[in-house]
Amino acid sequence: MSLAKNIDLLRRLPRLDGLRFAELGRGADAPSPLQEVADFGGNPGALRMFAFVPEQLQKPRALVVVLHGCGQTAAAYDLGAGWSTLAEHYGFALLMPEQQRINNGNTCFNWFNPEDIARGSGEAHSIREMIAHMVGAHRIDPRRIFITGLSAGGGMTSVMLATYPEIFAAGAVIAGLPYGIAMNLREALDGMFHSPMRPARELGDLVRNASDHSGPWPKISVWHGSADRTVNPGNANEIVKQWLDLHDLPETPMAETIVDGYPRQAWWGKDGETLVESFAITDMAHGTPLGLADNDQRYGVEGAFLIEAGISSSYHIAKFFGLTDWIADAAKAEAKSATKPAAKPVSKPATKPGLSPAPHLARSIRAAIAEQPAEPKREQARSFDLGQIITRALTAAGLMK
C-alpha cells in the first residue's frame, strides 16, 4: 500500500472503525462522574484534564491515569471501559487526560510527534503536570501511580512510562505501540500496519535514552487482539521485548496460562512479583476487551473500540496494579468501629454496575471451564461445578436472572 493511501486511511480511521458514539446512544453526552480541572499547571500540550475522586479511598492512596483512543473523549472511554466504576468500588483516584481537535483532528494523542513524546515537552509534560496536581490535591502516594491507555492512548502510555519511569509503579498498554519506534507520520504508519521487528536491546535503549532513570523500571501489562487490523498485533510482542530488556528478563515466558479463555504469558523477578505480562485476545479486533470480572461484576459497556470478549481488561489491569483487594464497605465499617462500640452489619456496595448483554455465550462457558492457575506455587488448582459454570454464563449473557 502506498504512503498516500496509508495517510488517507489514517485520516479516515474514525469513520472506518465506526466511531459513532451518538448513534450508539452512549456518547460524550452520557452521564459521567468525571470533573474537569482547568488550572493544573503547565500545559504545553494543550490537553484537557478530567478527574474523579471517590469519597472513600484505599490507603495508601492510589491514582490511575487512563488515556482514551482516537475519536474518543475521556467521558466516553470512561463509560465504555468502566474505570470510574472500578475507582468507586476499589477506592482509587482517577485521572483522564483528553486530547483536543486543535492538536489532532482525530483526537488521537500524538504518540509519534517528537515535540509531544520527550520528557519536559508537549503532551507528555502536560500529563505529568496533571499527575503532580492530583498528587498534591488528593495526597496520592507517589509510589502508587499507574497508567493505562488504548490505541493512540496506549502509544502515549508507552511514552509516559519511558519519559517519566520514576513516577509509575506499573502501566498497561491496550492495542498500542512501543516507545520510540516513530518520530514522524511515515514511521507511525509503518509501525501501525507492519510492526517491523527490532532487537530487544535496541528497543530497550529507546526507553533508557528517554530519561536519566536507571531503574527500577515500572511493571507492564500488554493487551492486544489477534484480529486487530488497525494496529498490527506484532506490536504487542515488540512492547514485551522492550520491557523484558529493561527488566533483564529472558524472552521465553516463565509461565503460560489461560485466563478467561485467553492465553496469558508472564515473567517475574527474583522476589516472585510479576513484572511483565501479555494477553493475546484471540479473534478480537481493535479495541478494549470487556467481560464479566472475577467478582461477577461487569465494568463498562460495548461501543466503538469497546468489545465484548468475555474478559474484563479494566478489571484485570486494576488487579495487576494491586488495587482490587480493598473493599469499600470494610473501610466504612472500620471507620464506624473507631467511634461506636458496636459496628453495624456490613452492607452491600452502594455502587454496583448493571449487567450488559454478553453475546458470546460459548466463549463465556469455555472461559469459565478453562483452568486459570496463578503464578507457580501460589495457588492450588480449583475444582469446578459444570452446572454452576453454565448458570453463570447464562446469567452473564442476560439469558437468566
Pair (259, 385) in one structural domain: no
- What pLDDT is attached to residue 16? 34
Q: How far apart are CA 253 and CA 123, in angstroms?
A: 34
Shared domain for 332 and 379, answered yes or no, is no
Please state the rounded mean pLDDT for residues 8-29.
37
Range of the domain at 244: 3-355
Tell me: do 283 and 378 sit in the same domain: no
Residues 22 and 85 in one domain: yes
* Amino acid at site 64: V
Domain's final residue, options 317, 335, 355: 355
Residue 290's nearest CA partner among 326, 320, 265, 260 is 260
Active site residues: 151
Residue where one domain finishes, among candidates 320, 336, 355:
355
For residue 372, pLDDT beyond 50: no
Q: What is the pTM of this model?
A: 0.78
Q: Are 349 and 363 within one domain?
A: no
- How far is residue 330's CA from residue 152's CA, in Å, rounded to a whole number? 38
Q: Per 3-state DSSP, what percentage of the chain is helix, strand, and coil (rounded to 5)?
A: 35, 15, 50
Query: What are 262's strand-pairing partners?
Result: 259
**53 and 174 inside one domain:** yes
Above 70 in pLDDT, residue 61? yes
Predicted confidence at residue 330, as pLDDT, reads: 56
Among the listed residues 13, 12, 88, the one whose alpha carbon sits nearest the alpha carbon of residue 287? 13
Peptide linkage before 165 cis (omega within 30 of 0)? no
Does one domain contain both 13 and 80? yes
- Mean per-residue pLDDT, 35-50: 97
Percent of the chain at pLDDT exceeding 70: 74
In terms of domains, do 311 and 335 share one? yes
Asked if 147 contacts 168 with a C-beta cutoff of 8 angstroms, the reply is yes
Please report, for the domain that includes residue 63, its CATH number. 3.40.50.1820
Task: Give the count of domains, the chain.
Answer: 2
Same domain, 341 and 368: no
Do 375 and 342 fall within a single domain?
no
Q: Give which of 401, 365, 358 is closest to 385, Cα–Cα.
A: 365
Whether residue 380 is predicted with pLDDT greater than 50 in this model: the reply is no
Assess whether pLDDT exceeds 50 at residue 7.
Answer: no
Contacts of 382 by beta carbon, 8 Å cutoff, 6+ apart: none
- Domain co-membership, 99 together with 39: yes
Q: What mean pLDDT, rounded, does the chain reach?
A: 82
Distance CA 264, CA 270 (A): 20
29 with 114, same domain? yes
pLDDT at 222: 98
For residues 389 and 391, what is the distance between their CA atoms, to the nearest angstrom? 5
